[in-house]
Amino acid sequence: MTIIPKVRIKSIDVLKGLVMVIMALDHIRDFIHFPAFFFDPTDPEQSTLPIFFTRFITHFCAPIFCFLAGTSAFMVGKRKSKKELSSFLLKRGLWLVFVEIVIINFGWFFDVYFNTVVLGVIWSLGISMILLAVLIHLRRSFILVFSLVLIFGHNLLDNIHFDGNMFWSILHEFSIYNLFYGGKIAFAYPIIPWVAVMSLGYCFGSFYDKSYDAEKRKKIFNIIGILAIITFVILRFINTYGDPIPWNNYGLFSKNLISFFNPSKYPPSLDYLLMTLGAAFIFLANSEKLKGRVVDFFSTFGRVPFFYYILHLYLIHLIALIFAELSGFGWQTMILEEWVNDTAALKGFGYSLWVVYAVWIGVIILLYPICKKFDNYKQNNKDKWWLSYL
């Protein structure tokens, strides 16, 4: 097998890092924002524009990271045989599923009894990698067609329901089921269409081949991004296909804006993916030549995203636990048996939006040197195979 030196694409690292940093904002809002315990931040009838857009900017995180995970898989495959890449994706996918169920869920709830298990974004990435381990053996043109058909056509399944069918929930429908020991399991990130987002990213990895002209890549990505955004606006305005929940005219600009820019995420609708991935293509097209400290700052998080993800979740929950104790609610209220915003004992807990942003900045500042040190360790110890799982 020919060994190809590992070359990182800085624009990809920057975008990964940017969405990881933004993601923390939404998780902090979940834990300590006062209104989060009373209403959905995307509810046009109750939310405000500042609250909504605090949530809105984090909509871009999951689809962008899933897409780039596929792109990264393609780049890893340039240094491995198909068999080796397939084995790597399978093992990494199984590892991510385990991490979601055990490590991530404990980070969300701090509940040793696991009364609630949420299969979220890490589970989705894991299952998608397992399926991608099979897909990569097919012709790339077939993978591309498969990805596009699933992304553009999966909303045809929205009106198909099988009550009590866990397999269907795993595939395409957000559902919650009771477990044999009295707990609950929530399928928050069904496989369809997330697997197609990752496989689409795998197909686009070829655009980053060293022989591919950078200006041509920029032009193509800009065209795709702009067309995706335009298609989103048209489909959303027409209100006939692309999202199971159409937007409504409330007769007030702010409420209309919230409704229009709130396509379904669980599972992600076509409108949602056009909006988020369209922006990703435009960013990738125009960020390759960016340099400077800000770029290096976000790139650090982008090079160690999984490590950062686990750290940020535990740190945020720990901060929320301390805040609950200091505000008189008691730290025990942050040992959660259900989703934090559904916990009755936390009604009335929380702080203003500016506190959410202040804590967010503090969390990023605290985590940066740790991630920087771990990034340096990874760069200097590329021979350690286990680091590829972190």
pLDDT value at residue 1 = 35
Q: Give all strands (DSSP E) within the chain, no chain letters.
A: 116-119, 175-178, 184-187
Confidence of residue 175 (pLDDT cuts 50, 70, 90): very high
Q: Evaluate if residue 8 carries a pLDDT over 90.
A: no
Domain boundaries, the chain: 10-389
Q: Which amino acid is at 50?
A: P
Nearest to 71 by CA among 170, 249, 198: 198
Q: Which residues pair with 117 in a beta bridge?
A: 185
Q: Evaluate if residue 267 carries a pLDDT over 90.
A: yes
The 10s digit of each residue's pLDDT in 57-96 is 999 999 999 999 999 999 999 889 999 999 999 999 999 9
> pTM to 2 decimals?
0.94
Cα(308)–Cα(356) distance, rounded to whole angstroms?
19
Nearest to 131 by CA among 51, 73, 81: 73
Residue 161: φ, ψ to 5°: -130, 140
